[in-house]
Amino acid sequence: MKLFEFEAKQILRKCGLATPRGGVASSPGEAVAIAKELGTPVVLKAQILVAGRGKAGGIKFADDAEAAGKVAAGLIGTSIKGCRVDKLLVEEKLDISEQFYASVTIDRQARRYVALASADGGVDIEQVAAESSAAIARHRIDPSAGFSQSEAEWLVERIPKISQHMLKSVREKKVDRYLKTDVSAFGSVLAALFCLATEYDAELVEINPLAKVASGEFVAADARIILDDNALFRHPEFSDRGLSRADDSPREAEARRQDLTYVDLSGDIGIVGNGAGLVMATMDLIRLHGGEPANFLDIGGGAQAEVINKGLTLVMSKPEVKAVLVNVLGGITRCDEVARGVIEALNGTGTKKPIAVRMMGTNEKEGTAMLQQAGVTVYADMETAANEIMRLKERQAA
């Protein structure tokens, strides 16, 4: 689950980290009121759950309250990168002297958290990594030991630009107390991010940029948090977000309401399967044959006819879908239940699209007979089914 920037900053403040003063506005009038209360030039930031909003026009500045109202009127209700802007975060404009990057995320290969820090903040970290991966200092965190302040400071000192500065200070036989203060403050931020990540079961906690302002304080100018969906039961404060995500497509939102594991994709061949691995293998096979999947839909193990009906109906409702491939390995999922669900979906929807079914396993003969009687061909292997669905799609297009 992705959190909005204002939600992420609320959590940062609870953990003792500094953020700009500001508030959330849902109308130009509210933006004006917040700007007046701040009494400074402000930045208005569209609250959407996609990256790159700044380059897309979602972050704008205003010198006073009146200008803030005009900017808000031009942003609220618009669409940026396909997302509707309903809220703005209105904050004081910071007097930034330096920009850094700080995050704690999951290293899945190492099966532990990793802390990342860089002196190149304010730009996409992917861009920094692509141009010079050495510009980012990394530290894999031992989950049994945690991440102490001293370890965090050790990581900061290994950021190339900072370590080079420190080395120069040693050569010149001078003590850079200001830099040592920075290392301590930056380290405190990283240590706090780790505590936040573990407390909230976060997959990512990121501050970019972590701004050093004129006063010398480190402030989270922007923040991003992604929570692990599997741990949301431990965080009831987000329970109202469980069935509605701002970054969901309409079909993804509907699938979530129906407890279906569904993801929209950009192709035109619908995919239905049981088990994430099988669905992904089916998608790969379609690509191998020159096609593009329109979705990912995993009906799960032991799915009953009602679930198959709902899932297939949802897939066929997508206008871009030209044909649908159903691929099922029956274990605890019974093939006769799959067949019953497919037939119900075909009979219940007004949209008729070509369909190919490959299924084997429990009650395979019964399910195959049911589908054949309904005029649906069942194929013995994935390769044949994939070839057939491509042929059906081309014939449909013609």
Residues involved in catalysis? 101, 206
* Beta strand ranges found along the chain (DSSP E): 22-25, 42-46, 59-62, 79-80, 83-84, 88-92, 96-107, 112-118, 136-140, 202-213, 218-220, 223-227, 261-264, 269-273, 295-298, 323-330, 355-361, 378-379
The CA-based angle 161-166-169, given to 5 degrees, is 130
Parallel, antiparallel, or unpaired for β 112-118 and 96-107?
antiparallel
**Residue burial 213-237, b: 16+ Cβ < 10 Å; e: rest:** beeeebbbbbbbbbbbeeebeeeee
How many other C-beta atoms are found inside a 10 Å radius of the C-beta of residue 365? 9
Burial of 188 (0-12, 13-18, 19+ CB in 10 A): middle
The tokens describing 306, both together, are: 């009602």
**What whole-number distance in Å separates Cα of residue 398 and Cα of residue 181?**
70
**What SS3 string covers 304-355?**
CHHHHHHHHHHHHCCCCCCEEEEEEEECCCCHHHHHHHHHHHHHHCCCCCCE
Distance of CA 233 to the CA centre of its chain: 19
CA-nearest of 39, 45, 90, 29 to 64 is: 39
Q: Are 116 and 101 in contact (CB under 8 A)?
A: yes
- If we measure between CA atoms, which residue out of 3, 41, 48 comes closest to residue 22? 41
Count Cβ atoms below 10 Å from residue 77 Cβ, excluding itself: 10
Name the pairing type of β-strands 323-330 and 269-273.
parallel
